[in-house]
Structure formats: structure tokens, C-alpha cells
């Protein structure tokens, strides 16, 4: 796995590469579709604006979040869970745009996961200084389905750990248009994001947006 990772860091040319069992980086897979994705995103955040959720410990998360699709991930003082309604509006989460679902399904298929049917899309917004500390994604019922992530805007350093929190982390730069599919033995690996650096992106300004597609219910 280490050898594969270094190949990506040294040679960003190849369109696709393995990050280890179950994790596939599809470099630039979304690039040709980012204008459509961002137009659809505008519609979603009009109905369900980004907000900073509270952790169960009462801390304000530095990542701002919203969701689309039948289920959305929420956190508050009572814990983490998926809900059908946005707690801020009491309305259902905005529907998942076709452009989102199609791209997630195409990426999953490309990575060997046929018939991926996401029912949740968590949308994360990073501004300079925003980070996401090391965690596992285990609030979804179906751990057999992969998670598909799409990176838009400013680049970031993604931390890819092991199955134990203390395992060594690999560092993977993720850039605008990159898509990663995480499934099988990678599904429960610890991961996080280093603080976003200052910068300017032509489409998104000083932000990074990450879409993650999940089978939550």
C-alpha cells in the first residue's frame, strides 16, 4: 500500500490508483462535471444552508455541513445519527440531484462496486483553518456499501489511517475534481483532514467542498 501511495504523490499523472485494499483514488474523475455539480449544490444549500453542528461534547464543529437525499447525517448534544428531516427547518432534506447520484454511481462502478444506491449525501464545507479530526464513519447501517467522496475547490491533505486510531497515517493530497471510493476493508479505516490552507480557487474562492455519498439506512 505504501508503495502505491508514494507513486501517487510522486506522479500525479495516472488517472486512477489504489490507496490500499478497498480504496480507489479516481484522480480528476469529476472534473468535467464540476460546473453542473456546483449549480446543483446551489439549489441544495438554498433549501438547507450550511451550519456548524455541535458534537455530543458540546463543541462547535469547524466543518460546516448540510445534506441532501432521503437521509442526512446530524450531530448534536444527544449524539450522531441519520435523520429524514433537517432539524433546522423540520423539512425533509433536499432531494439528491441527479448529477450527484449519477457521478457517485459511476465512480463506484469504476472502482468495482456495481449498483451503488446512496440514500445520503453529506456535504462538508471547509474554509482556511478548518480541519476534520481523525474518526471512523460507523453511523451507517450498511458497512458493505462503499462511501464515495468528491472533492471540490481548494486542495487539502487527507489523512488515511488504519483500523486502530493509533495506526500510522498516510497523507494523500486531494484536489478539485478528485473522487475516492472507500469500501470493503477500507470502509472502517480512521481518516481525517489537515487544516485547510489559505488559497483561491477559480470556481469556489477560498473554500473546499466535499460531498460524501453513503448507504445509511
Task: Give residues in contact with Fe ion (CB under 5 A).
Answer: 137
Q: How far is the CB of 152 from ligand MD3 (least distance, A)?
A: 10
**Which of 27, 101, 176, 191: binder of ligand MD3 (CB under 6 A)?**
191
Q: Under the phi-then-psi rule, with left for phi > 0, alpha for psi from -120 to 50, and beta for the rest, what region is 149?
A: beta
Interaction of residue 140 with ligand MD3, rule CB under 6 A: no
**Which of 66, 124, 130, 207: binder of ligand MD3 (CB under 6 A)?**
124
Closer residue to Fe ion (CB): 7 or 50:
50
Whole-number Å distance between alpha carbons of 108 and 137: 18
Q: How far is the CB of 48 from ligand MD3 (least distance, A)?
A: 16
Closer residue to Fe ion (CB): 12 or 50:
50
Whole-number Å distance between alpha carbons of 32 and 37: 10
Do 147 and 213 form a contact (C-beta atoms < 8 A)?
yes
Interaction of residue 186 with ligand MD3, rule CB under 6 A: yes
Which partner, ligand MD3, Fe ion, none, binds residue 181 by CB below 5 to 8 Å per kind? Answer: none
**3-state SS string for 82-130:** EECECCCCCCECCCCCHHHHHHHHHHHHHCCCCCCCCCEEEEEEECCCC
Q: DSSP states of 166-187 as a string?
A: TSPPEEEEE-TT-EEEE-GGGT
Sheet of 156-160, strands arranged across: 132-135, 191-193, 156-160, 170-174
Which partner, Fe ion, ligand MD3, none, binds residue 207 by CB below 5 to 8 Å per kind? Answer: none
Closer residue to Fe ion (CB): 137 or 178:
137
Residues that bind ligand MD3 (CB under 6 A): 122, 124, 132, 137, 147, 149, 180, 182, 186-187, 189, 191, 193, 210, 212
Amino acid at each position: 500500500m505504501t508503495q502505491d501511495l508514494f507513486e501517487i504523490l510522486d506522479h500525479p499523472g495516472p488517472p486512477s490508483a489504489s490507496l490500499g485494499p478497498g480504496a480507489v483514488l479516481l484522480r480528476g474523475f469529476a472534473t468535467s462535471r464540476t460546473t453542473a455539480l456546483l449549480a446543483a449544490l446551489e439549489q441544495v444549500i438554498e433549501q438547507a444552508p450550511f451550519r456548524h453542528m455541535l458534537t455530543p461534547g458540546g463543541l462547535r464543529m469547524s466543518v460546516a455541513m448540510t445534506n441532501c437525499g432521503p437521509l442526512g447525517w446530524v450531530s448534536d448534544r444527544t449524539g450522531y445519527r441519520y435523520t429524514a428531516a433537517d432539524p433546522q427547518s423540520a423539512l425533509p432534506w433536499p432531494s439528491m440531484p441527479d448529477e450527484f447520484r449519477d457521478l457517485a454511481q459511476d465512480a463506484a462502478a469504476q472502482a468495482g462496486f456495481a449498483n451503488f444506491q446512496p440514500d445520503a449525501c453529506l456535504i462538508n464545507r471547509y474554509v482556511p483553518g478548518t480541519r476534520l479530526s481523525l474518526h471512523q464513519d460507523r453511523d451507517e447501517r450498511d458497512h458493505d456499501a462503499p462511501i464515495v467522496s468528491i472533492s471540490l475547490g481548494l486542495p487539502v491533505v487527507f489523512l488515511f489511517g488504519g483500523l486502530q486510531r493509533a495506526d500510522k497515517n498516510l497523507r494523500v493530497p486531494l484536489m478539485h475534481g478528485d473522487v475516492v471510493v472507500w469500501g470493503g476493508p477500507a470502509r472502517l479505516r480512521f481518516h481525517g483532514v489537515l487544516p485547510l490552507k489559505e488559497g483561491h480557487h477559480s470556481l469556489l474562492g477560498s473554500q473546499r467542498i466535499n460531498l460524501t455519498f453513503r448507504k445509511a439506512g
